Amino acid sequence: MKKLTILLLIGLSTTATAFAQQTNPVTDAGSPVADLPLSASRAEILLPVLFISFLLVILTSLIKYFLDFRLKNKLIERGMQEQLTAYLSAKNEHEKQNEVVKLSILFLGLGLGLLLTYFTAPVDLHSLAIMAMSLGLSYLAYFLYLRKTDR
């Protein structure tokens, strides 16, 4: 978890450093950045940060799956007890199913949030509130799903 936090902080600071520009509307009146509305400048900062954090999450998930696969193979090669390997594999099957359901609910919420944002144009601060609300409701739906399946 600490490594993921460090990777996210490095990615966010790299993005912020790469896109950090200070423009003065008086001296840079003809520049394309000075002519953009405030929401466009927010998008220039927010979208690269979100994109890099999304890539880091995908990368860490792939590394986790790869390391879990290697661990299972080593347990099988060393001839560990069959009960232990059966327990680990059964637990992972249940976790994989929950992971798939979680991602599908989150992407459904993300899609609905983007659809609502599209219909409530212009894109501004309220669009971020809509996206946050839709993702929050997605996590709530996932929580309710987990509570229902644990019974």
> With helix as H, strand as E and coil as C, how does the chain read?
CHHHHHHHHHHHHHHHHHCCCCCCCCCCCCCCCCCCCHHHHHHHHHHHHHHHHHHHHHHHHHHHHHHHHHHHHHHHHCCCCHHHHHHHHHHHHHHHHHHHHHHHHHHHHHHHHHHHHHHCCCCCHHHHHHHHHHHHHHHHHHHHHHHHHHC
Model confidence over 41-73: pLDDT tens digits?
Answer: 676 777 777 778 888 888 888 898 888 888 878
- Does residue 55 sit in the same domain as residue 93? no
Model confidence over 86-136: pLDDT tens digits?
Answer: 776 666 677 888 888 898 999 899 899 989 988 887 878 888 889 899 999
Comparing 15 with 72, which gets the higher pLDDT? 72
Give the domain-ending residue among 48, 63, 80.
80
- Does residue 75 sit in the same domain as residue 125? no
